[in-house]
Structure 1
Amino acid sequence: MEGMTTAPFHTPPLLHPVHHFGPRTIDFNRQVALMAIINRTPDSFYDGGATFALEAAVAASLAAVNDGADWVDIGGVPFAPGPALSADEESERVVPVIAAVAAASDVIISVDTFLPEVAARSIAAGANVINDTTGLSNPEIASVVAESGAHLVITHSLAAPRTVYPRPQYDDVVTEVAAFLSSRVELALSLGVPAEKIIIDPGHDLNKNTLHTLEITRRFNEIAALGFPALAAVSNKDFIGETLGQSKDERLEGSIASGVICILGGARVLRMHNVAAASSAIRMTEAVLGWREPAYLLHNMGQLNEPAHPAQPADV
């Protein structure tokens, strides 16, 4: 019909689109937040401990901000199965990084933890968000978040923390993940976490095989339809490597493609290792969706076809 426009992609009807993270405000109706990954672990799956040293972790965090990150996610314990780390040991890894980054930048800071004690210490050091990849395996962490006013990321996973979950089975992975997230959101609300402080994550690859994760990526709109900003953690994961037959250092393009597909399905936070490339992909997607103006307009804008950039010749 003349004069009418339609949105070709999924825009989730968010219950609370505007979120306040300390000094930063994000309107998830018109912006996708880019979350950088900082692992202060000697055995992280991607970088193998490259940012384990305190100085390296802080430098990587601030470099990510420089490259376009809105958010840095700092973790001291991998999701993968392994020995437990005490709250004191985990805090010694993450709290100094949080404090240093908070002193140097207004970037959103989350800590990837499932321990209430670590969550409390991290928030006191300057973290704005607790990113619990175990889906409230310890509900007390929600109480800590509620008392502090921080945000909470609730992620779908099935295994007890740091344990093996062999051969996960689902009748309908997306329906079951959405139901799990909905039930955990209700738990968080009952423990005092405000709805406007909740973010959900379907947990790409977490206790899921490649076919499960591809299905979640394809039907991401069903996760976003729960009404909370949804996070897509797709970067360099095994589902990309298995789909494309690629090692960890070859998965950038697959990560970008998967992230953009999730955004078009309603994702509003993208968790990525390769920050500069992901920032360009996100900002381009925002421009296509009509949320962001181009940096400049020269091409075919005048009587003569000006070059799009002074270093580039004009089309003739």
Structure 2
Amino acid sequence: MGIGAFLKGAVKGVKGAVKKILPKKDDSKGSAADAKAPLMNSAFVFIKPHANTRAVQDLVVAKLTSKRVKILAEGDIAAAKIDKDKLIDQHYYAIASKATLLKPEQLPVPEAKFEAKFGVSWKQALADGLVYNAIDACAKLGVDADGLDAKWQAAKAAGDMEKFGGGFYGAKLGDGIFVFNGFFMTMRAAFVAPGASIHYYVVEWDPADLKWSEFRGDLLGPTDPAVAPLASLRGEIYAEWKALGLPNEPFTGENGVHASASPLEGLAERANWLKASVSKDSFGKAALAAGVPRKALDSWFVDPRVRVKGGESGSVFDMLEDLDADECLAAMLTIERE
């Protein structure tokens, strides 16, 4: 469920704090009976709707297996299900919660900042029925995702937009209403358009064969496909998009393939997209056995801000990014819990 790092500056310090707390690896060799097999890395990978062609599916399988990444399961999820079950909304929770999942009165709007920007108090705007999340704004204005995006971009160009937090934006549209995260509807539309679908893979591999950072950096490639190495999935899809049957050249928003940024994200994504049982999932089972409460796991699935014991705070997903399974689990045990 990886949407970009909203807290990159803070994250660097938090990840440094995590690494200091992680137990040192013991390289001494014990008996075979004492040796404990490392946890396998397990991730959720999917081809985005714009790139979901047979040729891209074949490419993804070839790239994964060439790096000894085992495909445990694969399949398609159609747009109707993605829309009905709000799967993409949960996947991009930090953004979507403000656009589709929560009503304006449920949002942590900084009231002073709202009033300073728009010249009306937050409470008054709510009382007057002038505030909408993105999905309700579409219904109110009688527009689709592209129609709302046009109004959103016009408000941005006019300077009638304010950032209230990571992935949290509000704008006053020319229609006189206030809307939050209006841009999300165009992102969502690609996943819920009639006939669209994703093709997913549940994958597993030995961290001795491939570090998580290599899985994302070398095998998957950077978010911007234009700068991705040709040997990476995103790089090859960008270079060969016509031959692979894509309708247009990939860009950051439509970069071909998604893959979990950490074992925790992989668990969260399998629970969301596949309704997988956390207690039966390999990483979920290991986390519960290590003493991570199920309540904590559930709360971490929506990427809250957390604090390392005796350390700094930041996004839990960003904190655990690129850690292999054993390291990720050890780091999760350092997070303070209520």
Both structures adopt the same fold (TM-score exceeding 0.5): no
Greater helix content? 2
Higher relative CO (CA 8 A, sep ≥ 6), structure 1 or 2? Answer: 2
Q: TM-score, normalised by structure 2?
A: 0.26
Larger Rg over CA atoms: 2
Q: TM-score, normalised by structure 1?
A: 0.28
